[in-house]
Structure 1
Amino acid sequence: MNATLRGCGMAGLCVLLALSGCGPKKDDSAKPAASGGGTQAHPVTIGLLMETYDVARWARDEEYFTRRAEELGARVVRAVANGDQDKQNQQADTFLTQGVDVLVVIPRDLKTAARIVKSAHEKNVPVLAYDRLILGCNLDMYVTFDNELVGYMQAKGVLEKVPEGNFILLGGASSDNNAALLRRGQMKAIREHEEATGRKINILDDSFLDNWDKEEARRKISNLLTRFKAEGKPVHAIIASNDGTAGGAIAALKAEGLAGSVAVSGQDAELGACRRVVEGTQTVTVYKPVRELASVSAEAAVMLAQGKLPEEIAASLNLKLHKLNNGARDVPSIFLTPIAVTKENMRDTVVKDGWHPEDKIYSETTASE
């Protein structure tokens, strides 16, 4: 399920900045020292660098982030790179030239995005990575969900339905560090399950995709199903790393008449995935309360712009501060808690939290998204 919004080009970015009243950087003495987002003379300006809208949730991340930042008195200017890291790096340079006080980045390429941090620090602007770690740089702060726990929940949800047999582990984008963390959690759950039950999980394939792409996932699983069928190896479960790739896997299963008989995981609690969970073609999704992620990130960004240290920020938010090494330093990180969602607890989680209306999930519309 793709959002209809699409990113603006550089011309649109310039218009956005002009409308946002983002002018040259003021003297630091104009910045507020209190907990508010700024002063009338110099409200905090946040440069929000989005990678894409191609995953359905990102438009909602932006909406919630902007709303919370504005409640704090800050201004948000944003640009969308449409999956192009070079473009995102250029957009960051534009924001820095315009005088933003802090950058919040959802990167495409976790290594190349390090240039954004280097350029920002040359102008004494802090950088917060949003839900994707930026590697190999002196990143100021990282806010995300516990992605290893997400992977663990995905595998546990599948193992509860299929305690042994032939599994495919469908990894996310090979360039995304989160995909590696998810895999670590998945393997941890499988090892624990085998040790506790004595049952064997036979992993037929554990490769990663190039992108978090539904169609790429569909082609991958379709080819694997054909191959393993010829080898006499029935597939009993697919641990897919998000709902988009789960949708692609289920489309491939449906073409073979196997949808509903093979357990499939996902994450993000997309509407189509929630419908599939209810109808029984998807076993589990993992809900990451995006409103909380966006709110915490907005508050942290404002405080970073005010010169507060990550330790102070975490204490102010009453959250534990972790350290996650990105290859260059132990990055101060906040890990939020995800929620495994099945048919049994759908109403008590996704519906109760207002993520999707009940009638949309339980409508008779098919979950082919």
Structure 2
Amino acid sequence: MNVECVITVADNKADKQANDVDNLLTQGVDVLVIAPHDATQAASMVDKAKAQGVPVISYDRLINSDKLDLYISHQVPIIGRKMAEYALKNVPEGNYVMVYGASTDNNAVIMKKEQLAILQPAVDSGKIKIVGEQFITDWKPELALNFVENALTQNRDDIKAVVVSNDGMAGGVISALDKKGLTGKVLVTGQDAQKDALQRIAEGKQTMTVYKPIVPLANAAVDAAIKLAKKQPLSDATPFKNETLGKEIPAILLEVQVVDKDNLLTTVIKDRYVSYDDVYANVPTDKRPPKP
């Protein structure tokens, strides 16, 4: 089947995304794949598409609509749990700060819920204390930086771990730590396995990230879109409950993997997601592991 893919970019603007969807529907697209900027506002886009008989896939981020034909993403609940489990294993005691993504993004809400579920027993026992937590508008690194700067000041720099929900914000958090001379002394999590985050991990500045292979996700979305266009069943989809709506929708959720300094070679580099030279670009040659 020949496939024509029309791509639009909303630039983090919900209104622009709505206009883009209107234009695509006017063009007569067979399937819409939406990575929503605002999960609630995007529901109206789904309504418009479904009114015209156009199937909709919610890509990476979940739209708050029970009319979706498919939600395709990585295992978001597991991402949240892996961050918190890693933090708790490596920093079992002390003050924690939680840096969540945008409150308008279901992924951020899901991750927060799962992170806190893992940490709560340690909070209840008094082993750890969450001294600050905040959703960050649009996942902006500079806002994460400001929030953590304030948290450090309020707690006299006594913070042992910052559970950060993505790599972009982790960069901002590390900038805040750097100003206090705390880089590498405070555990910092992340998500997305961005190149600069992998470099920070190699340097010892960021502790871990959650690797979400992008190519399999994109391929799965294309395969699903073709099936929907041909009115074929999505046999590999399973029910996923949208906690906000309290309803289940079909979903395909791909596996994720923790990446830290110990397994850079056997994960992202082995997969050729990034090169050895890129990851260790800021590490002195004599401090690098042998090149595979």
Q: Matched residues in 1 for 2:9 and 2:174: separation?
A: 30
**1:268 lines up with 2:192 in the alignment:** yes
Q: Does 1:348 align with 2:266?
A: yes
Alignment pair present for 1:174 and 2:92: no
* Aligned residue type for 1:301: A
2:22 is the alignment partner of 1:93: yes
CA-to-aligned-CA distance 1:150-180 (integer Å, 9 cap, x gap):
0111112222221110000111111111011
Q: Does 1:206 align with 2:133?
A: yes
Task: State the secondary structure of the residue aligned to 1:82.
Answer: coil
Alpha-carbon distance between aligned partners in 1 of 2:121 and 2:227, rounded to the nearest angstrom: 40
Confirm or deny: 8 A CA contact 1:111 1:135 kept in the other structure: yes
Deviation readout 1:40-94 (Å, 9 max, x if unpaired): xxxxxxxxxxxxxxxxxxxxxxxxxxxxxxxxx3110011111111111111111
CA distance in 2, matches of 1:90, 1:199: 50
Contact 2:46 2:65 in 1 (8 A): no
CA distance in 1, matches of 2:187, 2:240: 34
Structure 1 counterpart of 2:20, one-letter code: Q
What is residue 83 of structure 2 aligned with on the other side? 154
Worse overlay, 128-137 or 266-275: 128-137
**Once the 2 structures are TM-superposed, how far is the Cα of residue 234 of structure 1 from its aligned partner?**
0.7
One-letter code aligned to 2:274: H
SS in 2 for 1:79: coil
Cα displacement (A) at 1:192 = 5.6
Greater mean deviation of Cα atoms: 88-97 or 325-334: 325-334
Shift, 1:122, TM fit: 1.5
Amino acid of the structure 2 residue aligned with 1:154? M
Contact 2:70/2:249, CA 8 A, preserved across alignment: yes
Among 217, 240, 248, which residue is 1:323 paired with? 240
- 1:138, 1:329 within 8 Å by CA — same for their partners in 2? no
CA RMSD of aligned residues (A): 1.8
State the shift of 1:330 in Å.
Answer: 1.6
1:290 aligned residue: 214
Q: Which amino acid aligns with 1:228?
A: N
Distance 1:191 1:328 in 2: 23
Deviation at 1:301, TM superposition (A): 0.9
Q: Is the CA contact (8 Å cut-off) linking 1:168 and 1:237 kept in structure 2? A: yes
* Aligned sequence identity (%): 39
Query: What corresponds to 1:61 in structure 2?
Result: none
TM, length-normalised to structure 2: 0.92
Map Cα deviations across residues 277-309 of structure 1 (whole Å, 9 max, x no partner): 111111110000111111111101111111123
Indicate whether 1:145 and 2:74 are aligned.
Answer: yes
1:321, 1:192 → 2: CA distance? 30
Q: Retained in 1: the 8 A contact 2:160–2:186?
A: yes
What is the CA deviation profile of residues 101-128 of structure 1, one whole-angstrom value per residue up to 9, with x for unaligned ones?
0000011111111111111111111000
Aligned to 1:183: 112
> Contact 1:322/1:335 (CA < 8 Å) preserved in 2?
no
Determine if the alignment matches structure 1 residue 105 to structure 2 residue 34: yes
Structure 2 residue ranges without an equivalent (≥5): 285-292
Secondary structure of the structure 1 residue equivalent to 2:11 = coil
Q: Secondary structure at the match of 1:239?
A: strand
Contact 1:174 1:208 in 2 (8 A): yes
Task: State the Cα distance separating 1:199 from its structure 2 match.
Answer: 6.4
Task: Map residues 106-121 of structure 1 onto 2, 5 A cutoff.
Answer: 106-121=35-50
2:127 counterpart letter in structure 1 = K
CA distance in 2, matches of 1:96, 1:78: 13
Aligned to 1:227: 154
* Count of aligned pairs: 283
Give the corresponding residue for 1:84: 13
After superposition, where does 1:237-316 map in structure 2 within 5 Å? Answer: 237-310=161-234, 312=235, 314=236
1:248-267 deviation per Cα after TM superposition (whole angstroms, max 9, x unaligned): 00000000111111100000
Where does the alignment leave 5 or more consecutive residues of structure 1 unmatched?
1-36, 38-72, 315-319
Residue aligned with 1:260, SS: coil
Aligned AA for 1:267?
Answer: Q
Q: Which residue of 1 aligns with 2:280?
A: 362
SS of 1:211's equivalent in the other structure is helix
Compute the displacement of 1:193 (Å): 5.7
